[in-house]
Structure 1
Amino acid sequence: MGELWQLLHRPAEYDAVRTALTDGNTGGVVLVGAAGIGKTTLARLVTSVLPNPVRWAACTASSQAIPLGAFAPWIAASASRDPLALLHSARENLLAHPGTVIGVDDAHLLDTLSATLVHQIAVDRSARIVATVRTGETVPDAVTSLWKDGYLERIELTPLTKQQCTALVETVLGGTLEGLSADVMWESSGGNPLFLRNMVEGAVEARTLTDSNGVWQLRGPTAVPSGLVELLEERLARVGGPVLEALKMLAVYEPLDIDILTELVGVEAVDTAELTGMIRVGRHGPTVDVRFSHPLLGEVIRRRVGTAAARTRRGRIVETLRDRDLSTPAHRIRLAQLCVDSDQPIDIVVLINAAKDAVAMSNLPLAERLARAACERCGGLRAAELLSRALLWQGRPHEADEILARFDPDRLDPLQLVQWGVLRAGLQFWSLGNVARARDLLDLLAARVEYPALRLTVDAFGAAMAVHESRIAVGIETAERVIADPDSPRQAVDFAAFALGLAMPVAGRGADFAPIAARITAEQKSTDGLVRVMVRYGDVLALTTIGELDRAEQRASEYREFSSAGQFIGWAIARIAVGVVATYRGRFREAITAFEQALAALNAESSLAWKLPARLLLARAYAALGEVEQAERVLADAEEHRGAHMALHEPQRLIARAWVVAAEHSQHAAIELARKAADLAHRTGQYALEAEALHHAARFGDRTVATRLATVAARLQGPAAGIYARHAAAFAHADTRALAAVSLEFETAGLLLAAADAAAQAVPIHDHAGQRRPSAQAAARAQALAARCDGACTPAITAAARPLPITEREREIAALIGRGLSNRAIAERLCVSVRTVEGHIYRACIKLDASDREQLAKLI
């Protein structure tokens, strides 16, 4: 792993350094930057490929106390102690070989004589020089003169970008880094390669950075490598007492508002800590806060602070915070966290409200910690409900249910009963798949709750259950009634919007969901942050389903900003939304990356239900690229989420299976599966999915769905369904002009693979009519569009790219032979007789001049 850290990708800086060391117009270069920014790595990387001999001098604090200490290895043993003689000896030996390049690492630590020697060599250009200087350090005048007087070029190295950090870590780990973890690492390291390296190696050592199905995830603190401890301890030894006190105060709670830290330790201590590079000051929203320049520096400082001292320091911060504004979630959470581990008492209401805020922010580990602390302090049902919710979302439903089972519903008032019953019913329904138990709990609430606002909450939850059971009409009617009622409490509105966000898109009413999504997004308060995330997913799904892909992509981009690894569930759902848009656009590699990362983030003790929609679209993406084994694997994994509680997704499951079968060249089977998906979607009120499934059937080669698709499209919102219907009609009538026109429509809408299929379906029609030029043009367009879809291959594209004088059935049977199936197995699969299969093989062999079935399979 160590050598791979040297592969910093800084092409612009690399070229600049190399030019400075090889171009006759300059005497060399000085690289300036913070400690660990990669100055030495870059300098040595460039000099390692030069044909010139290189002499490296490494400066240290101890060598600074010795005249010519940095260049002692080049001073002859017989040289006198006279400074001029020492200079002469070092210079002669350094420049003994023509074209020598002199490297000076940490040139700010050069002693006076060494700095003079480097300056002389630069002035008379006796050799090229590459030197590194750390920012924030006192630099000898002779070294400063190197770039100020133009002898050497000065290049300042800036922190790595997020993309560079991610690429470097992925190179080292040899796998994909989860996007949320990449964000946290980049933010924590500040783009400093050394800090990044220690963070990654420490996290791997602490087993908080782990590989989950090929995706590396950071889920906790890192260990502090011994080498870094020594380096940081050395730096801490040089800071004064006031700075160390500031660091210790920050160590017990980070980040800390700059005004609070200044009030506690003084302005001078904070300023000195910043100027020496110990802390970073930055604006996050309306506040200016202070963080350690390196997260592991905080770990080293915390080792110096005992438990009692830490509690006392937290208590001092609490006393400062009590008089400040507690109207924002961040302030309430900060106070609660501090109180839990300090010597100060805490108001149980503040603690419960902070846990509620953490749930609203989707930070589940933090919510669990605060809610558990509230439970330990007799927080009652409200604390238990929050703790149960945090555990549930993290995939620990049995723990969550045990907590709720401690309460007797007969002893709860109506408000408590709804808080308890709705969560427990949801837990039984989605996490444990116990639909009957969930309905019993819902019936209990309906029988005992009379207050209208509370009944609205129960109704909204019932609507969400109905939608997942694929009782779409019932779910939409109930949820719309709740949304429209001005007396609906926040929780009821959230649940109703969640239900509508999944139901309206598949029902063909995606445009109607836009104002609902806007309303939820505009609200600053939320009873559950993950419900808000799911509503945002519904917004993206709705826009995608109606064909507004540009707006859908914009929304997906807006909704994916998360700042803490504790928000991994929300981040995963946002990544699924990104994958949805990418799949419809035909950007299948992007979709696969998004879905695989989301699935890795959703790994938990108990599999989370959100894996299912991701897996179904992921299987489609793999199938579109012809990666059948991967698609089959994903569909097999998706079998763990079956049952009445997930019936909503069954049409999508059939569509995914149809795509996999199509990738196996079984067009007739693919068409049948697409029709089954359309029939199931129609029976359950998922009319948008009915139209989509019928359109898939048409793309697979079905000429019989045009009339039905036109009827369905007439009741759906958005432009997509109309284009589907026009495509099916053009294909049914073998109208090449209409196919060309609809291909352009699909391309304009962003549905690139559908555009490729429409163009490809015109090819055999042109061929049949003997129209070679239009055929070639349509085939070329289909291939060009498919290339933009990462080389996707569908039955229509395959036929257009490889025109053979055989029927679709003959091609399908030949493909099955190639997969090793016997004639009897093929007959059973296609529901025909063995004699019929043999007849197709015979005719195909004659058309292609193949001697037997094996040769036929090879030709196909």
Structure 2
Amino acid sequence: MRLAWPLVGRSREMRVVDAALSDPNTSGAVICGPSGVGKSRVAREALNAAASSGSEVRWVFGTSCGRNLPLGALASWAGLSGGDSLHLVCEVIESLTAAASAAPVIVGVDDPHLLDDLSMFVLQQIVQRGVAKVLLTERDDVPIPVGVHELLHLGQFDRVDLQALSGESTSELLSATLAGPVDPGTVSSLWKLTRGNTLYLRHIVEQAVADERLVNSSGYWQWSGEPVVPPGLVELVESRIGDLPVAVADAVDALAVGEPVELAMLHRIASTEAVEQADLRGLIRLGDVDDRVEVWLAHPVYGEVRRRTAAQTRLRRLRGELAEELATADTRDDVRVLVRRGALSLDSNLDPDVDLLLSAARAAIAMGDLALADRLAKAAGRADGGAEAMFVRGHALSWQGLGEAAEEVLADVPIAELSDEEHARLTYLRASNLLWALAEPGRAEAVITAGAARVGMGPAQASIEAVRGVYLFAVDRPGEALGVLEDLVLDELPPVVGAETAWALATMYADAGRTSDAVTAAEAGYEIAVRCSDAPHMRFNIADSHVTALLLAGRVSEAVEVAEWARGQAADLPGTAHLLGPAIAGRAALGSGRLVEACELLEQAAGALSATGHAQGWGYRYGIPRATALAMRGRWREAQAVLEELESVRRPFRRLDYEKSVAAAWVTAGQGAVSEAVAMSRAAADMAAVNGRFAAEVVCLQMAAQFGDRSCVMRLQELEGTVEGSRIGAVLRFANALHHCDGAELATASEGFEQLRDGVAAVDAAAHAAVAYRRGELRGSALGCAARAESLADQCGADTPTLRQAREPIPITDREREIVLLISQGMSSRDVAERLTLSTRTVEGHIYRAMAKTGTASREELAALLTMKRA
């Protein structure tokens, strides 16, 4: 399937080439780079641009067939008059450089190393005489013929070294080509395979789209299954590799199944001479790693091709030899080496080693490679790995979101001979899978109850108590959960249970406003997670709650730092894990008022997480702040669509009620129903208070105040001694100033929010100050605060209802404004009345008075006033 591939990531190179072709003091430019990197495309685009500017363009192509024919590449410009070579050369030069007008001529030469000598002589004469510019492409992975050297020395050429596309540019190119966002994991896989080689990328992507392995799922293009190198690319690579002697093939194929390989080890598997031959052919590359030299294939696609075309018996033998070599290395028990040994043994000629397979599976989980852990544990199970293999496999499947498969494995564990500790472990694994992956809290509770009945008092019972506490946390019973979990000693629990317990505690302490306790729990959780090979992803859940605690307390800068740490931790993890860092960073960006960045990060992460089987888990969790960020930007229709999609997700755990209510309130306010948004925020605050989530209550009250609620002061005063952090003081000052309609204090409150780095709150406080000054007829102060609000909004990317009110000095009341905004969306008076719980007559009265104040003659004219202002 042919796709339209735009030119991406080459703007700098295009500028250099354009400058060289326009400079009268240069002979042209030479574009250098390896095969497939896009030299010809850049040259073609540069010549097209030159042609559109009035230049006359000629294209010359070097080919292996034409290099044996005199003037073979320039046959189109050679006349039919015959004569000697000199006469022919002069005729070709004249034909090649002749222009219909005085327009400059540019000769593009692709693959000049394949030109015959006479064609090269023509180009040398053109450069020497200066009768045309010359633009050449030059491969830096083939020897440069003498003729090309001479050509370049005859004139002054600007050199452009074309590098492979970066990961970021690859993502941009794929999104532009496929006309939609691409799952970051898919981008990462394609970049690792192609290393930014656009020729390879085009072959692989077009074949994948045609085979429906690269498909648009939930708005994101995603790869399913393993990458497949299409036949056309296989032929291209095979022609590059050529026929290999057996020993050289051993060296190349050993790398294909197990790169990187230490140089000395590769010498033993193949031979020193074979490795040297592979190096001379440009098939391998060497690099220093610590105190050793390691070897890789020159390009990852070579490995894909060899794994497809080499004899499987050879590849199995080589995997076995590599596994045996690694088993004798000093680093054999290193986590990464264990994983490599186990993975190599899977499809080798070696007998299965249960201990190795289980150790490798646990190490793969520690590295976040859950799919590989599943394969290793499954192989261990086939080799009589017993309950341990089932525990490890069930855990790996559950964390991949494959809850049904995990339950099938775990439910088959023979329990008759399990120890108390193993019973507790099975209880944790099944309950967690039922709760988080399958969203069946009732069944999870039954498993916990049954597990508790099977074990005696002691560590096993404490472990099951921790699982019960986490269950209570998950079903939004924080008071009961704290009653269970606060009595446990985290370090005395199994590490994976201790890490999850720390996450639950950090989350509940954060919501309650117990920031110090939340931070302590998070830090304890990190320490446990480092020691625990079973919970590599749990550190991101902990980091999310850590960020929550700091944001709720007003410690926004610290929250951003934690989020950046998490982003770095996730960057190199396989599977969906690498999405969690950007998701957490998106929440921190939202909390610090960087709405453009928040929308980008959360759209990418939430969408991809939902599309990869985590819709009811991480996809839901990060979809809510995505909706909030969109609504704060004024994109309430998009935010509403996100919330409607979340409503269709079945999630009977951690409903995130207050966060969802805040998002919905922002959508409602964006629609113009500000009083309804206030009511929603106050209701969320009341619910948070009932559940002891006092820091969350403060945020809900802050939102109500930002929407214009003047009645929050008393409750905030009550919370001031309960909730830790600087946010409560800032919100109380803002609410008090709003209550008294004090422009000066509102302006000060805006500065306070800015110091906290809560940019959106700073915008709204400044906007409220402008409105207050305007009502006091202090025009200069009103204009100053309105300008400040606009400036802050530009920095944040915010477009809030209060900001729009500050922009619109229309002499109507808040209620009249609300009604006008709703009728501007095409709502009838009856619709507005139902929305705001008013009588239709009352709505009509407000509309009549607003028309009288503004001098408008119809509902349409009245609605247009605010519509025009908002536009």
Q: Structures share a fold, TM > 0.5?
A: yes
Asked if residue 423 in structure 1 is aligned to residue 436 in structure 2, the reply is no
What's the offset of the Cα at 1:7? 1.6
How far apart are the structure 2 equivalents of 1:710 and 1:678?
A: 14
The answer to whether the Cα contact below 8 Å between 1:336 and 1:346 also exists between their aligned partners in 2 is: no
Q: What is the identity, as a one-letter code, of the residue corresponding to 1:672?
A: A
Q: What is the identity, as a one-letter code, of the residue corresponding to 1:308?
A: T
More deviation, 456-465/366-375: 456-465
Asked if residue 439 in structure 1 is aligned to residue 445 in structure 2, the reply is yes
The answer to whether the Cα contact below 8 Å between 1:615 and 1:634 also exists between their aligned partners in 2 is: yes
How far apart are the structure 1 equivalents of 2:723 and 2:201?
A: 51
Aligned to 1:103: 108
The one of 505, 510, 527 equivalent to 1:505 is 510
What's the offset of the Cα at 1:712? 1.7
More deviation, 464-473/662-671: 464-473
What's the offset of the Cα at 1:669? 1.2
Structure-2 change in CA distance of 1:275 and 1:528 (3 Å): farther
Q: What is the identity, as a one-letter code, of the residue corresponding to 1:341?
A: D
Structure-2 change in CA distance of 1:818 and 1:350 (3 Å): same
| TM-score normalised according to structure 1 size | 0.93
Where 1:622 maps in the other structure, the secondary structure is: helix
Aligned to 2:401: 395
The answer to whether the Cα contact below 8 Å between 2:570 and 2:579 also exists between their aligned partners in 1 is: no
Q: What is the identity, as a one-letter code, of the residue corresponding to 1:468?
A: A
Aligned to 1:547: 554
Alignment of 1:704-723 (within 5 A): 704-723=711-730
The answer to whether the Cα contact below 8 Å between 1:205 and 1:223 also exists between their aligned partners in 2 is: no
What's the offset of the Cα at 1:368? 1.9
What's the offset of the Cα at 1:768? 1.9
How far apart are the structure 2 equivalents of 1:227 and 1:750?
A: 54
Aligned to 1:766: 773
How far apart are the structure 2 equivalents of 1:825 and 1:113?
A: 83
What's the offset of the Cα at 1:150? 5.4
How far apart are the structure 2 equivalents of 1:698 and 1:801?
A: 19
Aligned to 1:788: 795
Q: Deviations over 1:463-485 (max 9, x none)?
A: 32222223334434654544x45
Question: Structure 2 stretches of 5 or more lacking a match?
Answer: 867-871
How far apart are the structure 2 equivalents of 1:135 and 1:812?
A: 67
Asked if residue 611 in structure 1 is aligned to residue 616 in structure 2, the reply is no
Aligned to 2:638: 630
Aligned to 1:298: 303
Q: Deviations over 1:175-218 (max 9, x none)?
A: 11233333333333222222232332233234333222222233
Asked if residue 448 in structure 1 is aligned to residue 451 in structure 2, the reply is no
Aligned to 2:45: 45
Q: What is the identity, as a one-letter code, of the residue corresponding to 1:838?
A: E
What's the offset of the Cα at 1:486? 4.4
More deviation, 386-395/831-840: 831-840
Aligned to 1:469: 475
Q: What is the identity, as a one-letter code, of the residue corresponding to 1:497?
A: A
Q: Deviations over 1:25-72 (max 9, x none)?
A: 111122211111221111121112223322222112333334443334
Aligned to 2:607: 600
More deviation, 518-527/679-688: 518-527
The answer to whether the Cα contact below 8 Å between 2:570 and 2:578 also exists between their aligned partners in 1 is: no
Where 2:501 maps in the other structure, the secondary structure is: helix
Alignment of 1:199-348 (within 5 A): 199-237=204-242, 242-274=247-279, 276-281=281-286, 289-324=294-329, 325-348=331-354
Q: Deviations over 1:543-572 (max 9, x none)?
A: 333233333223323323478998333223
Q: Deviations over 1:730-760 (max 9, x none)?
A: 2112222221112112223221111010011
The one of 408, 413, 424 equivalent to 2:419 is 413
Structure-2 change in CA distance of 1:854 and 1:75 (3 Å): closer
What's the offset of the Cα at 1:516? 4.4
Question: Structure 1 stretches of 5 or more lacking a match?
Answer: none
The one of 355, 377, 381 equivalent to 2:383 is 377
Q: What is the identity, as a one-letter code, of the residue corresponding to 2:541?
A: M
The answer to whether the Cα contact below 8 Å between 2:462 and 2:493 also exists between their aligned partners in 1 is: yes
| TM-score normalised according to structure 2 size | 0.92
The one of 109, 123, 128 equivalent to 1:123 is 128
The answer to whether the Cα contact below 8 Å between 1:670 and 1:697 also exists between their aligned partners in 2 is: yes
The answer to whether the Cα contact below 8 Å between 2:427 and 2:448 also exists between their aligned partners in 1 is: yes
Alignment of 1:699-848 (within 5 A): 699-790=706-797, 792-848=798-854
Q: Deviations over 1:125-168 (max 9, x none)?
A: 23221111111211122322444565323222222233322222
What's the offset of the Cα at 1:331? 0.9
Aligned to 2:565: 558
Structure-2 change in CA distance of 1:514 and 1:383 (3 Å): same
Q: Please, what is the CA RMSD of the aligned residues?
A: 2.8
The answer to whether the Cα contact below 8 Å between 2:602 and 2:622 also exists between their aligned partners in 1 is: yes
Q: Deviations over 1:448-505 (max 9, x none)?
A: 33363333432332332222223334434654544x4543332232122221342232
How far apart are the structure 2 equivalents of 1:630 and 1:354?
A: 45
Structure-2 change in CA distance of 1:91 and 1:818 (3 Å): closer
Q: What is the identity, as a one-letter code, of the residue corresponding to 1:53?
A: E
Aligned to 1:679: 686
How far apart are the structure 2 equivalents of 1:55 and 1:446?
A: 82
Q: Deviations over 1:652-711 (max 9, x none)?
A: 222222112111211221111111111111111211111000111111111111221133
What's the offset of the Cα at 1:615? 2.0
Q: What is the identity, as a one-letter code, of the residue corresponding to 1:138?
A: P
Where 2:672 maps in the other structure, the secondary structure is: coil
How far apart are the structure 2 equivalents of 1:147 and 1:21?
A: 15
Q: Deviations over 1:332-364 (max 9, x none)?
A: 111111111111013212111211222222222
How far apart are the structure 1 equivalents of 2:444 and 2:854?
A: 61
The answer to whether the Cα contact below 8 Å between 2:441 and 2:475 also exists between their aligned partners in 1 is: no
Structure-2 change in CA distance of 1:565 and 1:415 (3 Å): same
The one of 184, 194, 205 equivalent to 2:189 is 184
What's the offset of the Cα at 1:3? 6.9
More deviation, 688-697/807-816: 807-816
Structure-2 change in CA distance of 1:182 and 1:705 (3 Å): same
How far apart are the structure 2 equivalents of 1:277 and 1:557?
A: 39
Aligned to 1:363: 369
Structure-2 change in CA distance of 1:724 and 1:171 (3 Å): same
Asked if residue 69 in structure 1 is aligned to residue 72 in structure 2, the reply is yes
How far apart are the structure 2 equivalents of 1:815 and 1:292?
A: 64
Asked if residue 138 in structure 1 is aligned to residue 143 in structure 2, the reply is yes
Aligned to 2:15: 15
Aligned to 1:645: 653
Structure-2 change in CA distance of 1:564 and 1:85 (3 Å): farther
Q: What is the identity, as a one-letter code, of the residue corresponding to 1:662?
A: A
Aligned to 1:538: 545
Identity among equivalent positions (%) equals 34
Q: What is the identity, as a one-letter code, of the residue corresponding to 2:111?
A: D
What's the offset of the Cα at 1:639? 2.4
Q: Deviations over 1:407-458 (max 9, x none)?
A: 3545422122122111111122223333232222222333333363333432
What's the offset of the Cα at 1:518? 4.2
Structure-2 change in CA distance of 1:504 and 1:701 (3 Å): same
Q: What is the identity, as a one-letter code, of the residue corresponding to 1:617?
A: P
How far apart are the structure 2 equivalents of 1:763 and 1:176?
A: 40
How far apart are the structure 1 equivalents of 2:364 and 2:616?
A: 20
Aligned to 2:96: 94
Q: How many residues align?
A: 856
What's the offset of the Cα at 1:786? 1.9
The answer to whether the Cα contact below 8 Å between 2:607 and 2:619 also exists between their aligned partners in 1 is: no
The answer to whether the Cα contact below 8 Å between 2:499 and 2:526 also exists between their aligned partners in 1 is: no
Where 1:560 maps in the other structure, the secondary structure is: helix
How far apart are the structure 1 equivalents of 2:173 and 2:96?
A: 35
Where 2:660 maps in the other structure, the secondary structure is: helix
How far apart are the structure 2 equivalents of 1:136 and 1:642?
A: 56
Q: What is the identity, as a one-letter code, of the residue corresponding to 1:666?
A: A
